[in-house]
């Protein structure tokens, strides 16, 4: 990254984490434990993470013109999905201590399902903000 390019501020990283936390919490927390075992609705969850990532990336790129630095937001969206998954695990374990024996796998699965939409969302959001399209 260029030395003179503006750096992203910490607030954008927090917003990126919320872009992962919000959709994951909305789609998984209201479910009962039995419904959660069957899995949250994956397509709406993945779409919501992608859209939220694109919006945060577009606004961050518009505000700072950071170029490739916008990709630094991608892992922070993953932090949000992890925090939402761990919140769900903590809530369920409080009710039944044997409910999430394989919780590390749940965290990895949430990261994997969120990887493609958050990378795609950040790239699309960054491109839309800069106005670089293929015409």
Please check whether residue 3 lies inside any domain of the structure: no
Please check whether residue 48 lies inside any domain of the structure: yes
Picking from 112, 129, 125, the residue whose alpha carbon sits closest to that of residue 46 is 112
Please check whether residue 61 lies inside any domain of the structure: yes
Q: What is the pLDDT of residues 100-125, one digit of tens each?
A: 888 899 888 888 877 888 888 888 88
Pairwise pLDDT comparison (135 vs 14), residue with the higher score: 14
User: Which tokens go with 16?
Assistant: 């990126």
Please check whether residue 39 lies inside any domain of the structure: yes
What rounded mean pLDDT belongs to the chain? 82
Please check whether residue 33 lies inside any domain of the structure: yes
Place of tokens 């998984």: 28
Please check whether residue 133 lies inside any domain of the structure: no
Please check whether residue 30 lies inside any domain of the structure: yes
Place of tokens 């999430």: 100
Question: Considering the entire predicted model, what is its pTM?
Answer: 0.80
* Total domains, the chain: 1
* Boundaries of domain holding 75: 10-127
pLDDT of residue 67: 66
Place of tokens 């839309």: 128
């Amino acid at each position: 990254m260029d030395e003179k390019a503006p750096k992203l501020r910490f607030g954008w990283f927090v917003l990126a984490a919320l872009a992962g936390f919000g959709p994951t919490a909305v789609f998984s927390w209201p479910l009962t434990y039995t419904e959660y075992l069957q899995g949250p609705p994956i397509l709406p969850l993945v779409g919501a993470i992608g859209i939220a990532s694109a919006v945060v990336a577009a606004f961050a790129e518009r505000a700072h013109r950071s170029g490739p630095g916008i990709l630094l937001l991608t892992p922070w969206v993953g932090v949000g999905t992890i925090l939402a998954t761990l919140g769900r695990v903590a809530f369920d374990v409080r009710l039944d201590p044997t409910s999430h024996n394989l919780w590390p796998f749940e965290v990895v699965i949430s990261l994997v399902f969120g990887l493609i939409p958050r990378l795609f969302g950040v790239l699309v959001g960054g491109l839309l903000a800069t106005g670089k399209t293929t015409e």
